[in-house]
A and B are shown apart, each in its own frame.
Chain A
Amino acid sequence: MELTKMNATIMSKFGQSGAAFSFALIELAAKNPDIVVLSSDMSTPAGLDKYKKIYPDRFFNVGIAEQNLVGIAAGLASEGWIPIIVAQACFITMRSFEQIRQYCGYMKYPIIVVGYGAGFCLQFMGNTHFSTEDMGVLRTIPGMTVISPADAGEAAKALTAAIDYKKPVYIRFTDKMGCPMVYIFEYDYQIGKANLIKEGSNAQIIATGSMVSCAMKAASSLEEQGVSTAVVDMHTVKPLDGEAINKDAKLIVTVEEHNIVNGLGSAVADYLVENGINVPLLKLGVKDCFSQVGDYNFLLEQHGLTPEHITESILNKIETIK
């Protein structure tokens, strides 16, 4: 589907999983008869009802059993199907971590693992339902691909690209309904290839998922205050696109709706150190603690992840560099 301002706006209203499953998946399933979708009792909130209606014989609900969800998908993949499996991000990645390690990592089955409601978007469901460790745990699995789309349109593109990728992929949907649009025109999307979405010479913000739009807003205010700031959409956290990192920046900032431990910031830090790139790094993300529960903005504020907080943290960091 060609991205236009109109369909980007429509998809944005459906959220990331709505866009991926109500739009992209319907087209993909029509073209590829090997696609099957499985969910552990999470299909309706994830936006799969339309797909289920059109392809009832290519949908399996395994009940509230995330470990078995991955196992059954692996059995189907071993027989040539392309399974897309859908559950809450926290449960599919953490309760089923070993299954993903075994079937996707060790046995290399190209299952598309979709985590619905990643980050803080399940709000008042509380800490059991927040998924802020998912990218960290899964990126330790050899051969695993970890993707966090920036907006609803990119979620649709990520699912489409994952079908052709033929490798195991985890896609996390930070799923606030009406999530802000980052892209309103057609653009090239490739797994493992970051997009520079704003040029700038001083600071470079490398963001992923929901934080890309926050980073764009922060970059605008930084420009107003005289700090030329670039923004990179690092939608694929593993494999990381090191080429997209500006070695000549004065400051590199990573921003993610994920624990500060072992997410995008850690991946970028590894890259900088291993490649001898001596640029100061500011890692912004979810603090390494459980949260006080509240609405989405309350949670972002608590962890310093609103555009205003991001701007302030960057300005403070620049002060220390001077």
Chain B
Amino acid sequence: MEECNMNELTTKQKQWAQEMKLKALEMAFSTGPNGSHIGGGFSAMEIYAVLYSGILNVGTTVKENVNRDRIIASKGHGVLAQYTALWKTGLITDDELKTFDNNGTHFYGHPSRELSHGIEFSAGSLSLGLSFGVGVALSCKKRKLNNRVIVVLGDGECDEGLVWESLMSASNFGLNNLTIILDKNGYQLDGSTLEIMNSESLAKKFEAFGFQVDEVDGHNCEKMTVVIQKRYDKPNAIILNTVKAHGISFLENNKMSHMCALTQKQYDQALTELKGE
């Protein structure tokens, strides 16, 4: 990619991420005392902004096209980032987003497959999206499509045995069209991933399962853009180091951010911080 285009793209990605965060905060606050998955949504804002804003073949023009890239959110609780990115692409409207977590909505706490909205997978039960993604990638390869299958995983999610069954099968079937995006925010529901089930050396584990592994800062759009565009002759995983609830100081590195409600005061503070005022 040309340098000037790269700069333009990075500016766009950052702009998207910023708008997504403000929209997501509003959505989170709208859930009232029920609360929402703020931590895992805000760790993935830049990730989803990068995935949906230009470097992949996704969006309104290709939504049900067989050649589209498939972005499969296995980490289903990342909807605050996923829905707002789809809103930026135009696949989810403003009015639709306003129904977030309302009775009878399609847009609840975990995404439900609906290609007209760009949602490839009904997630919620961790690890099931990766296994599904292996099947999708296998099909795309058999049909000789030149597209990519991107699966977004969480680091806590890697506690699940099915993740490792899926990794084994992806390299066994030579799925070089499959890319895992790992949002390594270091926390799971009960606390730090180091304390709950040590997820250090994930890179080595992925490599041992036959994956090419890259690792970059998951809040740096420019670095992510470069690494996501790399293609290899085998399946690859990109470990993205992130901060859970990134940008909201009182929730960062706080396990309570996993699923929480915001008071008016907290909302006001978060808004001020996110706006950088």
Contact = CB atoms under 8 A, between A and B. Distances in A.
A68 B136 contact: no
Nearest to A83: B135
A106 B136 contact: no
A62 B167 CA distance: 11
Interface in A80-112: 80-81, 98-99, 102-103, 106-107
Given A68-B165, A76-B136, A107-B113, 7 more contacts: A62-B165, A71-B130, A72-B132, A75-B136, A79-B136, A99-B131, A103-B132
Nearest to B122: A107
- Sorted nearest first, the 5 A-B pairs with minimum C-beta distance are A75-B135, A71-B131, A79-B139, A72-B135, A68-B165
B128 interface: yes
A65 B125 CA distance: 18
B22 interface: no
B192 to A, nearest CB: 27
Contacts of A103: 128, 132
Contacts of A68: 131, 134, 162, 165-166, 169
A67 B160 CA distance: 11
Contacts of B172: 63
A102 B165 contact: no
A71 B139 CA distance: 13
Interface in B160-191: 161-162, 165-166, 168-169, 172-173
Nearest to B139: A79
Given A63-B168, A68-B134, A99-B131, A75 B162 contact: no
A296 interface: no
A200 to B, nearest CB: 48
Nearest to A103: B132
B169 A65 contact: yes
A102 B128 contact: yes
Interface of A: 57, 60, 62-63, 65, 67-68, 70-81, 98-99, 102-103, 106-107
B133 interface: yes
A73 B125 CA distance: 17
B143 A72 contact: no
Given A65-B168, A71-B162, A102 B135 contact: no
Contacts of B161: 67
21 contacts: A63-B165, A63-B169, A65-B165, A67-B165, A68-B131, A68-B169, A71-B135, A71-B162, A72-B131, A72-B132, A75-B131, A76-B136, A76-B139, A77-B135, A78-B136, A80-B139, A99-B128, A99-B131, A102-B122, A103-B128, A103-B132
A81 B139 contact: yes
B47 interface: no
Contacts of A102: 122, 125, 128
B125 A75 contact: no
A100 B273 CA distance: 44
B137 interface: yes
User: Which of B113, B135, B169, B173: most chain A Cβ within 10 A?
Assistant: B135
B138 interface: yes
A37 to B, nearest CB: 13
B72 to A, nearest CB: 9
A60 B138 contact: yes
Contacts of A71: 128, 130-132, 134-135, 162, 166
Given A72-B169, A81-B139, A106 B122 contact: yes
B256 interface: no
A72 B134 contact: yes
B140 interface: yes
Contacts of A65: 165, 168-169
A74 B131 CA distance: 9
A74 B162 contact: no
Interface in B212-270: none
Nearest to B161: A67
Contacts of A81: 139
Interface string B117-132: 0000010010010111
B132 A60 contact: no
B168 A67 contact: no
A107 to B, nearest CB: 5
Contact of B132 (A57, A62, A74, A98): A74
Contacts of A74: 131-132, 135
A73 B173 CA distance: 14
Contacts of B132: 71-72, 74-75, 78, 103
A72 B128 contact: no
A229 B132 CA distance: 49
Given A67-B162, A102-B122, A75 B137 contact: yes
Nearest to A78: B136
A206 B143 CA distance: 46
